[in-house]
Structure 1
């Protein structure tokens, strides 16, 4: 660590403070709180993703002892710190300390790298550590092969890094796609490297628990994700394509995005001067980006899926800055950091202090529909509301069967109810419905007390997520469903959404 400059440590400290503030002042998002439920029951894989994010949450919450947003998100913040150090080392390995420093600044001004994968607790957080570590090892292997140095140990570590990357998120397989393409088209010497085959075996061994779990569960992870990206029966979807491109631009910071592509086209244009390291970075980035852009022509995709690929292009951007004047470099980096800070500040203010809701929908049963800030606001208040209703109902339990269950039909807002309501009240969630709506809740039911015929329950949903089909299905499962209690949640003195609590009597089956 002696080779890490003081200014980098100071910069990491400042960024960490910013991330801690964000992590402490807004509620967990839909995906984050869902991944927290993974940690409740550790397995070798889950419906949507491999298990590493569950292990990380279990660790940072001290085996679930600490119950707050910062503890849940701490793994992402730690991962971001480690990733930032690796970014500096990669830039330095590519050329010099200056390129490493510029890469750090560009990386840190990316919303994907610093917020989505660096503050929010998603599989992307730990994935980026192992993705970047894999890139660093590949670059060292490339240099060692060129210099005639031994590479076996580097290959073995690469197998470990890629295996762990795939145990975070299956996107890590694109690292091996890059290796194969690089070996076939740019550096045939790699094909003679025994270490490469040992490395592949190590990766396979490390992901084998994930594979075995999927075999035991009829490849549900593959089925789910293939349904999300399948082209069968799908026509051209220009809106999905536009969302993917605009999402890539915004998530990676527009300045970082366009600088990255300027660098890509610049290096490709002068391909006879391409260093093998630059070719390798292109192989690590372009196949994943191209795959997602192609799929988005037909189906909905999520722009953050391409985040790891753009982290590779950031190094090309840093190298490209070497050809700019120092004043121009400072202007570009300052603009990217200022834009990052402006958006983060605006987002925090909007989530916590916007008066009411951004949604034009004012009907009490649908208030807040379409307002994305409400996914991150009002859940502690929801816990207090349900707790007060639950305790009031318990006083009447001599006349009515005691409620112990909140029935859910979808994984969201079920996970929010688990984190903010069930921990407080002692209630449990129980899933009713189809597996592709319930996700991991389809199996977590096995660890919960089953609903018995005649049981009473609650159905709770915020008005911004209210769905007539879901409540009609719930009504069909119970003998009686009373009109909902409508409890307001305020933001800056104005109602932003309502909590709808339905009392259900007499479970039928």
Structure 2
């Protein structure tokens, strides 16, 4: 029976992987994904928005962009998260048994954050989730125990993975907070052991790499993130707060979210009793980040997926809490199957638009502006149609300029890349992000003629934003269709200096 649960876990991980490969092969890149492709095309030890790990993952899985398609690049998320699912299984086995490990895999797969956001799309979350869970798996076997009885190898592996997680995304520093607070309050004997401090060399090295890049670039990453996550703004932003709570509810699955709340209430009321040192370890490695994102949302706009990895961390403990519920295994399998079918239908519908309302606008410049799903559709069609125009009019020798990182990154991948064209960000650093550094790697922009390409989801009149040019010629307006209906317009401009 024990062996069967391991086989069941592997079976469901395999099914999840197959479905995620299908979704990845059908959907075009979203804004963030195509932006992180730039991390692989222009690698560096760190970047304006995040450290460099996601770019290195993309390089590794695509053989340094030798295979440069949506599916292959998304393998940098799909395969690591499949491994992360198995790590969650191992955590469940460690804290109790293989049945808990199996339930943990099912709970992971009904999480939108686990299955889609980190598990299918190319985001820094994919490597962070993998290394976060690996670090948790190693450290939970070591830090709650007496130092003399603990594995030095697992201690070092745990902190190595902490360093790799931090090098994937900044919030992984909460792993260090969890480890230090646990030792300080529950196992101070570690404070007398040199190997505990020596293990910190791994996350310290990651931090030093990030600091070195920022030292070379006026600590621009910290200035950027400080504006996003200030801890001392006392104003109340009701919309941001409600959006964060609702987002956490949806991203982590209402069932998982509510069950975790019930588990926490039961724990603090002494109605959920499990191994105390294990339970405390779970809570200290997960609740601080969740609490921080909720606190920040009181005064600032936040993103619900910032705390997603903390919910994934709590999943094995949640599996213990719900393991005695009637028909829990059967119900989770049903939920897993329902979600796979639902997301497959949504994927097919995004590409075909049989039931989606057709975008309408009084102006062709704003068609589809409110349709967020258009980020994932129409760019392959745009590539073919725009490339034909550029080649027919012999314009592919000209550089493309953009005032913002989006849709610049989409234009870069789907238009400039296949036509061997250069893209320049022309604007302030907060607007062009990575293009500030890309510009420096390319010949200085001295052309008297340039192209400006935009679409009706992001339209801005070039005459209003590029006053360094004197003439603005609309070369072509291209209609992007879905199910024989126009859903977006693409505009090609030729900008000239006297």
Tell me which interval the TM-score lies in, with the shorter structure as reference length. over 0.9
Question: C-alpha separation between the residues in 1 aligned to 2:201 and 2:445?
Answer: 46
Q: Cα gap change, 1:175/1:491 in structure 2, threshold over 3 Å: closer, same or farther?
A: same
Question: C-alpha separation between the residues in 2 aligned to 1:156 and 1:142?
Answer: 11
| Structure 2: unaligned runs, 5 residues or longer | none
For 2:209, the equivalent position in structure 1 comes to 209
Offset of residue 426 of structure 1: 1.9
For 1:345, the equivalent position in structure 2 comes to 344
Q: How does 1:360-371 map to 2 (within 5 A)?
A: 360-371=360-371
Q: How does 1:53-64 map to 2 (within 5 A)?
A: 53-64=54-65
For 2:68, the equivalent position in structure 1 comes to 67
**Runs of at least 4 residues off by over 6 Å:** none
Q: Tell me, what secondary structure is at the counterpart of 2:443?
A: coil
Offset of residue 184 of structure 1: 2.1
Question: C-alpha separation between the residues in 2 aligned to 1:501 and 1:227?
Answer: 34
Offset of residue 488 of structure 1: 0.6
Question: C-alpha separation between the residues in 1 aligned to 2:331 and 2:298?
Answer: 32
1:473 equivalent among 447, 450, 465: 465
For 1:135, the equivalent position in structure 2 comes to 136
8 Å Cα contact 1:386-1:421 kept in structure 2: yes
Offset of residue 244 of structure 1: 0.6
Offset of residue 233 of structure 1: 6.3
8 Å Cα contact 2:472-2:495 kept in structure 1: yes
Offset of residue 52 of structure 1: 0.7
Q: Cα gap change, 1:377/1:68 in structure 2, threshold over 3 Å: closer, same or farther?
A: same
Offset of residue 387 of structure 1: 0.9
Offset of residue 202 of structure 1: 2.4
Deviations 1:297-337 (A, max 9, x none): 11101100101110122122101013323x2x135414532
8 Å Cα contact 1:358-1:371 kept in structure 2: no
Question: C-alpha separation between the residues in 1 aligned to 2:237 and 2:199?
Answer: 39
Question: C-alpha separation between the residues in 2 aligned to 1:234 and 1:434?
Answer: 29
For 1:505, the equivalent position in structure 2 comes to 496
Offset of residue 211 of structure 1: 1.5
8 Å Cα contact 2:19-2:340 kept in structure 1: no
- TM-score norm. by structure 2 comes to 0.94
For 1:245, the equivalent position in structure 2 comes to 245
8 Å Cα contact 2:367-2:488 kept in structure 1: yes
For 1:457, the equivalent position in structure 2 comes to 450
Question: C-alpha separation between the residues in 2 aligned to 1:332 and 1:286?
Answer: 27
Offset of residue 182 of structure 1: 1.1
8 Å Cα contact 2:479-2:486 kept in structure 1: yes
1:420 equivalent among 414, 423, 427: 414
Question: C-alpha separation between the residues in 2 aligned to 1:378 and 1:342?
Answer: 23
Which 10-residue stretch deviates more, 422-431 or 241-250? 422-431
Q: Tell me, what secondary structure is at the counterpart of 1:497?
A: strand
Q: Cα gap change, 1:411/1:254 in structure 2, threshold over 3 Å: closer, same or farther?
A: same
For 2:325, the equivalent position in structure 1 comes to 324
Offset of residue 89 of structure 1: 0.3
Q: Cα gap change, 1:273/1:22 in structure 2, threshold over 3 Å: closer, same or farther?
A: closer
Q: Cα gap change, 1:449/1:497 in structure 2, threshold over 3 Å: closer, same or farther?
A: same
Question: C-alpha separation between the residues in 2 aligned to 1:173 and 1:241?
Answer: 23
Q: How many residues get paired?
A: 494
Question: C-alpha separation between the residues in 2 aligned to 1:166 and 1:276?
Answer: 25
Which 10-residue stretch deviates more, 478-487 or 118-127? 478-487
Offset of residue 269 of structure 1: 1.8
Deviations 1:422-464 (A, max 9, x none): 1222221111010000001011101112221x52111111101
Offset of residue 391 of structure 1: 1.4
Question: C-alpha separation between the residues in 1 aligned to 2:190 and 2:313?
Answer: 21
Offset of residue 264 of structure 1: 1.8
Question: C-alpha separation between the residues in 2 aligned to 1:233 and 1:174?
Answer: 21
Q: Quick check: 1:438 aligned with 2:458? A: no
| Structure 1: unaligned runs, 5 residues or longer | none
Q: How does 1:78-227 map to 2 (within 5 A)?
A: 78-142=79-143, 144-145=145-146, 148-227=148-227
Question: C-alpha separation between the residues in 2 aligned to 1:142 and 1:3?
Answer: 31
Question: C-alpha separation between the residues in 2 aligned to 1:196 and 1:359?
Answer: 58
CA RMSD of aligned residues (A): 2.1
Offset of residue 206 of structure 1: 3.3
For 2:477, the equivalent position in structure 1 comes to 486
For 1:258, the equivalent position in structure 2 comes to 258
8 Å Cα contact 2:5-2:99 kept in structure 1: no
Q: Cα gap change, 1:273/1:424 in structure 2, threshold over 3 Å: closer, same or farther?
A: closer
Deviations 1:31-64 (A, max 9, x none): 1111111111221001101111111111111111
8 Å Cα contact 1:152-1:194 kept in structure 2: no
Question: C-alpha separation between the residues in 2 aligned to 1:290 and 1:143?
Answer: 23
Q: How does 1:248-287 map to 2 (within 5 A)?
A: 248-270=248-270, 275-287=276-288
Q: Cα gap change, 1:272/1:314 in structure 2, threshold over 3 Å: closer, same or farther?
A: closer
Offset of residue 341 of structure 1: 2.5
Question: C-alpha separation between the residues in 2 aligned to 1:379 and 1:308?
Answer: 31
